[in-house]
A and B are shown apart, each in its own frame.
Chain A
Amino acid sequence: MFRSVFFLVVVAFFALSAAASDYFERLTLTPLPLGSLLASFDFRANETITDYESQNYRFFPRSLGQALRHADTKELHLRFTTGRWDPETWGARPWNGTKEGGTGVELWAWIEATSEEEAFEKWSTLTQSLSGLFCASLNFIDSTRTTKPALSFQPLGRYGDGDQTLHLLHGVLPGEVVCTENLTPFIKLLPCKGKAGISSLLDGHKVFDASWQSMAIDVRPKCSSGTEPCQMEISQTIDMVLDIERSKRSRDNPIPRPVPVEQLVCDETKPYHSQEACYPRDMVDEMPWSLKEVFGRSMAGVCPLVESEGPEAKSVCLNVPHERMVLIGVSGFEVKSDPGLPDSRCYQLMPLEEFDLELPQQTLGGKTDLGHELLRAERTITGHGAARGGMRTVFTNPSPTEPVKFVYFESLPWFMRPFMHTLKAQITQTEFPFEWQTITDMYYRPAVDRKRSTQLELVMSVPPASTVMLTYDFEKAILRYTEYPPDANRGFNVAPAVIRILNDTDGNGPSDNIYIRTTSLLLPLPTPDFSMPYNVIILTSTVMALAFGSIYNLLVRRFVGADEVGDGKIRGLVKRVRGVIVALKDKVAGKRQKVE
C-alpha cells in the first residue's frame, strides 16, 4: 500500500509540475521478496498543441505523431506485456495496474469521427500504421477483435473544446509474442534513444528475460484550465520484475552452474550436516546487486533534455529502507526522502559520466510493506469435450471490512458462444452475514459470426472477506477450413478479462482507477484433420463412380448366357500367356528329370 501511496504522491507531484518541463525520465528500483527487483522506467515528453498541429516535432516522435494524425486519434494507449504479475509475492501492481496490459498486445484509442463506420475505418488505418511502427501484428486487430467498452475505460486526456465526437475502440492480441523487435522501435521513440540517460540501461536480452514485463505507450492531450496552451503528452513506461540471480549471469556464459562447495551456505543445525551433506540455508539477507550486474551495463550519463535542477532532475530512485547500504561513485549525489514519507532515496547524476550503484549483501530486520491488491481474480475454462465448455471466474476480496465494487470486462471471440441465461454469480465463501447483490449492472453485446466478438461488461461488488464465483456455459463453434491457424491444435487464445476497481470516492478523476487483468486463456476447439478435403473428394468420387459405373453398365451392356460368350481379345491373350507358362513349366520339369 505504501508503494502505491508513493506512486500517487509522485503522480500528483508531476501533475502539478508537468507544465514546467517538456521532458522527464525516471527509473524507480524496488527490491521485491525472494531476490526479485522491480524496475520501472518512466519517460514523459510534452509538445505544445500548436507545434503538434503544425507537425514540428521536438520531443514527440514524428513517426507516431504522423500515424496518430492520419487516423485522427486523440488519445492512444498501447501495451506490450509478457508474463504474469504475482500479487501474492510481489504485492500491489506498479502504477495501480494502469500501465500494463493483458498478455500480448492491447490497444485502445479515442478516435474522432462522425460515425461509427468512419471511426472503425480510422481504427484500421491506425492499427496498420502502428503495426508497421512497432513490428507487431497489430494489423490483425480486425472487427472480430475490436470492442467498444462502455464502462471500463475513461479518457485520461483533457480536451479543450467539448464539441468533438470521440469513439473509444479497444483491441487485444492475446497470442502476440512480445520480444526485442518491439523494444527496439519503442526505444527509438525516446529522445535520447538508449544512448544517454536511463534508457541506456534497456537491453532486449535483459528486458525479455524478466519474470514479468510490460511496455506501455500513452498519448493524451492535456489542457489546463489556466492560460497555458494545451499540450500533447506522450508517456512511455517499461516495468519489469527481474530475478536478480538470473540477471547476474553473464551473457556469454548463461548456463547455470552448481555453486562450488566452499561457497555453499549450509544449515548447520541439521543433524546430518557434515562435510559431505549440506542442507542449503534460506537466503534471508538482502541480495547484493549493482546496476551493471543486473542490466548488463552501467548508465551512460544523463539525457541532456531533462531539467538540470529541481526534483525532476533526479532520474534514479531506489525504494529501500534508509538503513540499507548503497554505494555510489562520484558521479551522483543522494537525496533521502523526508521522514514521514515512505523510505526512498533518489539520485541526481552528473552529465556525461557513467553512473552505477551497488547494494552489498546485508541483513535487514524489518520487512517492507509492498501493499496488497484490493481484489484477486482467477479465470479458468471448465468442462470437457469439443462441443461445450464453461467459464469460471473467482473473485476474492481480502479486505475484512471494505466491499469492493468493480467493472468486469471481457471480450470473447465469436467462436465462443456464451449462454447468458447460465450466467450466475454466487458467493461461495463469506463471513458477511447479510444479503448481497453481486451484479448490479450489465452491458452485453452479443457476437455476430465472423464479424463481431462478444462484449460483456458487468458492474459487480464483492462483500468483505468473501469469494464470489462467476460462471457461465458456452458453446464452441466449428470453424471453416480456412479459418484455422497453422497451429490449430495448440488452441485459440482468449483475451484476458479487464477489471477496473471503482473507488467509492468516485469523480476525482481517472488517476484513482485501479486495473487488474486476469491471465489469458487457451480454448481448444474441435480441430479437423487438414487433409480432410482431399480425402472427402476422393471418397465421394469413388462412391459416385461405383454407383454410376454399375448403373451405366446395367443399362448399356447386353446380357448373354455364360457359354455364349465368345473369345475377346483379353481372354485370348490370357490363354496364350497361360499356354506359354505351362510349356515353360514342362521344360523345366523335363530338365530336372534328365539331371536326376
Chain B
Amino acid sequence: MKPAAANSPTSAAMTTTKQPPPEKPEAVRLRTKIVLSFWAVILLLGFPTWWQTTSIYRADLPLQDMLNWAEGLNTPTSIPLHIWVSAPNLPCPDAQRIVRETQQALDDLNEYPTLHQRLYLVNWWSTGKDNKEEKGTPSTSCGENPSSPDLGDPALRVLLEPAKDGFAFELDPVIAKAVVYIPRTDANNVSKRLAENLHELFKEEQVAAALQTVALASHTQNAQAFLRSQPYDVVTRIEKQINRAYKSSSEFHLTFSLFTAGGVPSSWDVQDALSKHIQPLVQALSNTSEFDITTQIQLYSSYSPAIQPVTKEGMEGAFLQQKDLTAFVNAAEWPLAPSIGDGPTINFILYVPVQDEIPLKIDGVEGTSWLIPQWGGIQITNPPLQPDPMTGGMSLPAHLAGELLRQPFETFSSQLLSLLGVPQANQSGKLLPLQLRLDAYKRFSTLTLYLKAASSLGSLARLAQRLSNIPIQKHVAELVDDAIGNLTAAEHAFLESRWDAALIHSRIAYRDSEKAFFDKSMVGQVYFPDEHKVAVYLPLLGPIGVPLLVGLLREIKRLVVRKRGITP
C-alpha cells in the first residue's frame, strides 16, 4: 500500500489497467441470501422479541365509552322527580283531571328535564288508613298502587282535600307531605296554582343541579339555557351556597374542639351536647353519608399571633376586627390534623379567650360565630366568671356545663347543615321542612357523585390517550368496568326516580373511578425520558446497524442497476 501511495501520480495510471475477475453469479446470489437472512432474523425474531420484552402492559380500556360518559352523552335525558298525589275525598275523575292539568301547567312552567316534577295519582292515603276508617270509600280504587315498581320514591306526597274556602297549600312541618285544599268552584285555577307552588318548591334544587352539571359535565347547553332563564340573584345565591359547602363525599369526619387560650376551662359536657344537638342531625343524614364524630380539648391554644384584638373605651373586653376573622385559625399550633381514613374533616371550634379579653366580641357584628367555607365553623364563647375558691378573685370556670354549650352547639348544628350543602332558607326567607331539605341534599349529592364519577372516568381516558408510556394494570380496567356498570345502574335508577338506589350506585361508581384514576401502578414509568433509552440503545445499534444497513443498500443498488441493465 505505502509505496503505491507514495508514488501515486505515476503508478495510478498503471494499476487501473488490472481489474478483478468478474464475480460468479452464484457468489452474488449467496451474498444476497446472506444479507436477506440477516435482515429476516432481525425483523422476524429480533424485533418481535424487543417489542415483546420492552412494551408496557396496557389493559384495554373502553376509552370511547369513558369519554362519552364524561361528555354527558350517556347521561339520562331527564331525571324526573316523582310526586304522589292522593285524593281520597274527591271523586276519581276530578282527581285525575286535576293531576293531568297540573302536570300540563308544570310542563309549561319549566322545560329543564333534570329534577322535573312528575305527578302520579297514587292512593297512598287509603293504604295507611283503611284499617281504621270505614272501608269501601270510592277513592280506594282511584290511582295506582303505591307498591308499583314504576313509581319510584316520592319526593313529596300531596293530599288533595276539598274545601269550602279558597285554595291553600300547606306543607307538613316535619315530613315531606303537603295538604292542598281545593275549592269546589274554581277548578281550572286550582291546577295552575298547585303547579306554581310545586314549581316554586323545587326550583332552587333544580338551579343547584344545573349549576353542578355546568361545573362538572361538558355538554351543558340545556343547563346553561335553564340557568339563563332564572333570575340572576337566585342563581348567585345558590352558587354561593354550593361553594361554601364541602364536596359531596360518602364519609365525613366531624371534629368538635374546645380551644382555650389559657389553662381553663379544661373539661366540657360534650357528650350531652352532642347527643342533644348533633346526633339527631347525623341520624337523619345517615342514609346519605357516614359521619364519624371526635371531640378534643386543647389548652394554651391561642388564636393566630398575627391578630391583635382592639379594646374600646367604655366597653368591656376586646374586639376582633372583621377582616381578621379569616386569619383567626392558628394552623401552626392547633392540632387539627386531618382525620385518618377517607373523607374530609369538618372542624368546629369553640374558643374560650384568656380572662383579660373576656368578653371577646367581633367588631360591628352581633354574634360571635362565623363560618369558614369548606373548612368548618368557629364560635367564641365567653363563659361567666366565677369566684375562685383559692385566691378569692374572679376566674374562668374549670368546667363548661351543658347550659353554656347549648347555644354554641345550636350554632354548630346549623353550620354543619350549611357546610354540607343542605339547602338553607329560600328566596322569601322561608325555611322548608327539614325532611324536604335533607331529601334535596341527598338528591344533590347523588347527582354530584354521579357527575364526578363520570368526569374522572373521562380524565382517566384522556390521560391514557395522552401519555402513551404509562402502564395500565388489569385491576384498573376492572375498576373502570365496575364504575361504568354502576353509572349505568345509577342512570336507570334516575329514570325511575329511585334515589336510594341511585345514591348507592353513584357512590360506588365515584369510589371506583377515583381509585382507578389515582392508582399507584400508573405513575411508575411516566418519568423515564427518551434520551435515556437512546443512551442505552445507541452503543449497540450504531456499530451493528451501520454495516447491516450499508449491506442492504448495496444489495438494493445492485438489484436496481441489474433491472435497469435488463429493461432497456
Contacts of A538 in B (CB 8 A): 539
22 contacts between A and B (CB under 8 A): A56-B270, A56-B271, A58-B266, A63-B337, A66-B339, A192-B300, A193-B298, A193-B299, A196-B263, A196-B300, A304-B263, A308-B390, A534-B535, A541-B539, A541-B540, A542-B543, A546-B543, A548-B543, A549-B547, A562-B1, A563-B18, A579-B9
Q: How many angstroms from the CA of A563 to the CA of B20 in the assembled complex?
A: 9
CB of A545 within 8 A of CB of B23, answer no
* CB proximity of A547 to chain B, nearest CB, Å: 10
What string of 1s and 0s marks CB contacts (under 8 Å) between B6-26 and chain A? Answer: 001100100110111001000
Q: Please tell me the size bucket of the interface on A.
A: 35 or more
CB of B264 within 8 A of CB of A304, answer yes
Q: Which chain B residues in 15-53 approach chain A with CB under 8 Å?
A: 15-16, 18-20, 23, 27, 31, 34-35, 38
Contacts of B294 in A (CB 8 A): 55-57, 62, 65-66
B548 at the interface (CB under 8 A from A): yes
CB of A552 within 8 A of CB of B340, answer no
Q: Which chain A residues in 537-578 approach chain B with CB under 8 Å?
A: 537-538, 540-542, 544-546, 548-549, 552-553, 555-556, 558, 560-567, 574-575, 578
A407 at the interface (CB under 8 A from B): no
* CB proximity of B528 to chain A, nearest CB, Å: 14
- Given known contacts A545-B540, A563-B18, A564-B20, A57 and B299 CB-to-CB distance under 8 angstroms: no
Which residue of chain B is the closest to A71 with respect to CB atoms?
B340
CB of A545 within 8 A of CB of B8, answer no
Which residue of chain B is the closest to A552 with respect to CB atoms?
B547
* CB proximity of B409 to chain A, nearest CB, Å: 14
Q: Please tell me the size bucket of the interface on B.
A: 35 or more
Contact surface of A with B, Cβ cutoff 8 Å: 54-58, 61-63, 65-67, 70, 125, 129, 132-133, 188, 191-193, 195-196, 303-305, 308, 534, 537-538, 540-542, 544-546, 548-549, 552-553, 555-556, 558, 560-567, 574-575, 578-579
Which residue of chain A is the closest to B535 with respect to CB atoms?
A534
Contacts of B18 in A (CB 8 A): 563-564
Contact of B263 among A56, A57, A63, A192 (CB under 8 A): A192
Contacts of B12 in A (CB 8 A): 567, 575
B295 at the interface (CB under 8 A from A): yes
Which of A196, A545, A563 gathers most chain B CB within 10 Å? A545
Which residue of chain B is the closest to A67 with respect to CB atoms?
B340
* CB proximity of A558 to chain B, nearest CB, Å: 6
Contacts of A578 in B (CB 8 A): 5, 8
Contact of B20 among A70, A542, A560, A575 (CB under 8 A): A560
* CB proximity of B421 to chain A, nearest CB, Å: 25
Q: How many angstroms from the CA of A475 to the CA of B130 in the assembled complex?
A: 87
CB of A544 within 8 A of CB of B8, answer no
Contacts of B270 in A (CB 8 A): 56
B464 at the interface (CB under 8 A from A): no
Q: How many angstroms from the CA of A223 to the CA of B82 in the assembled complex?
A: 56
Q: Which chain B residues in 466-513 approach chain A with CB under 8 Å?
A: none
Contacts of B295 in A (CB 8 A): 55-57
Q: How many angstroms from the CA of A578 to the CA of B293 in the assembled complex?
A: 93
What string of 1s and 0s marks CB contacts (under 8 Å) between B261-305 and chain A? Answer: 001101100110000000000000000000011111111110000
Which residue of chain A is the closest to B398 with respect to CB atoms?
A304
Contacts of B266 in A (CB 8 A): 58, 191, 304-305
CB of A62 within 8 A of CB of B255, answer yes
CB of B296 within 8 A of CB of A62, answer yes
Given A57-B294, A196-B263, list of 11 further CB < 8 A pairs?
A: A56-B294, A58-B296, A193-B298, A537-B536, A545-B542, A548-B547, A552-B38, A553-B547, A555-B34, A558-B27, A566-B19
* CB proximity of A593 to chain B, nearest CB, Å: 23
Contacts of A65 in B (CB 8 A): 294
Contacts of B536 in A (CB 8 A): 534, 537
Q: How many angstroms from the CA of A541 to the CA of B542 in the assembled complex?
A: 9
Contacts of A57 in B (CB 8 A): 294-297
Contacts of B343 in A (CB 8 A): none
Contacts of B267 in A (CB 8 A): 58
Which 7 pairs across A and B sit closest by C-beta, in order of nearness?
Answer: A545-B543, A304-B263, A541-B539, A195-B300, A541-B540, A55-B294, A560-B20
